[in-house]
Amino acid sequence: MTTATTTPANARMLGLAHYAARAVLESVLTRHGVGFQQQITLRPVALAAGPVDRGQLAADTAAGLKVDEDSVQGTIDELITAGLLGTDASDVRITDAGRELFERITKETGAASARIWGDLPEEDLATAGRVLTLITERANAELAAVAK
């Protein structure tokens, strides 16, 4: 069922869209025995041309997910223990098993994303992109102000 609305976007709508999309992702991740934070941490390493600095990975992931770096360091340890990441000194790299898992998850989520996003007009996506970027910037500024 497709629903169109003329109601202006608000925080509740944004939250509902986020949680619906995240539930789709997590249904795929669960089938593969991977958690959300593990996938978000694995992704930049899988996409990198080479090894990734572990500290920078933890910092970037923590900033994106709004979690503490120690939590992400624990997630990196989990991925290493699972054989999905390898480590060399202060760098991490994707293993063959990690790449295979990442590609399977990407294929499954890509199909779902195509069904969810595929027929949306480009101009609507461009507008939504601009609005969501602005909301993210403002929310990050609000968080920074509260943290002071």
The CATH number for 92's domain is: 1.10.10.10
How buried is 78 (Cβ within 10 angstroms: 0-12 exposed, 13-18 middle, 19+ buried)? middle
HSE-CB at 101 with a 13 A cutoff on CA atoms is 25
Q: Is residue 99 part of a domain?
A: yes
Q: What does each C-alpha distance from 95 to 46, 80, 81, 86, 98 come to in angstroms?
A: 9, 9, 12, 6, 5
| Positions of E strands within 31-148 | 52-53, 85-88, 91-94
Q: Provide the number of structural domains found in the chain.
A: 1
Domain encompassing residue 93:
24-115
* Cβ atoms within 10 Å of 82's Cβ, excluding its own: 16
Q: Is residue 123 part of a domain?
A: no
Q: Is residue 139 part of a domain?
A: no
| Positions of E strands within the chain | 52-53, 85-88, 91-94
Q: Is residue 97 part of a domain?
A: yes
Q: Is residue 40 part of a domain?
A: yes
pLDDT tens per residue across all 148 residues of the chain? 456 667 888 889 889 999 999 999 999 999 999 999 999 999 999 999 999 999 999 999 999 999 999 999 999 999 999 999 999 889 999 999 999 999 999 999 999 999 999 999 999 999 999 999 999 899 989 988 887 7
- Measured CA to CA, the distance from residue 94 to residue 44 in angstroms comes to 10
Q: Is residue 55 part of a domain?
A: yes
Residue holding tokens 């969810």?
116
- Measured CA to CA, the distance from residue 62 to residue 5 in angstroms comes to 34
Q: Is residue 120 part of a domain?
A: no
Q: Is residue 12 part of a domain?
A: no
> What pTM was computed for the model?
0.82
